[in-house]
Amino acid sequence: RYLFTERFGGDEFSLPELALLAASIESLIHSETLERLVGTYRVHKFDMNTTLAEAEAKLAISTYMESLIMSYNISEATLKQVQRYKNRTNEAGPFWKAVRNLEREVYQDVAGGQAMLAFPDLA
């Protein structure tokens, strides 16, 4: 609260100011998400203008989640580096099993019964 008070003065936020702050944060998160997904497509050599089959879409979701959780820059990673990270997560215990379950849930939510997924479906 001190940082906000220091930066924005002693007054409380008005509703429009709070809405602007929330929209700004949402925009930043969405931009980072898209950048990470573009990096995921790049490293796997997926074409953003075509659809992905189920196995490819699941690989994209898995790689995206790993890069997010392990906090590595997928935009600069090579396929070999990504595979090394993936090998580490496959050896791990209950945490990564829970992540894999979450990935399956995300795929089901995103796919909604579709056989092929396009970039906007995953974004």
pLDDT digits (tens, 9 = 90+) for 8-25: 666 677 788 788 888 999
Handedness of CA 113, 115, 118, 123 (dihedral sign): positive
> For 48-66, what is the mean pLDDT?
95
Q: CB–CB of 41/82 below 8 Å?
A: no
pLDDT of 7 above 80: no
The pTM assigned to this predicted structure is: 0.81
Mean pLDDT of 59-82: 94
Coil, strand or helix: which one is 58?
helix
Give the SS3 label for residue 115: coil
pLDDT at 75: 92
Higher-pLDDT residue of 113 and 48 is 48
On the question of pLDDT at 1 being above 60, the answer is no
pLDDT of 89 reads 82
Nearest CA to 46 out of 34, 56, 55 is that of 56
The pLDDT of residue 16 is 82
Query: d(Cα 103, Cα 29) in Å, to the nearest integer?
Result: 19
Please give the C-alpha separations between residue 80 and each of 55, 74, 87, in angstroms, as whole numbers. Answer: 19, 12, 11
Q: Rounded to an integer, what distance in angstroms lies between the CA atom of residue 96 and that of residue 38? A: 23
Kindly report, residue by residue over 77-86, the tens digit of the pLDDT.
Answer: 999 999 999 8
The whole-number pLDDT of residue 93 equals 81
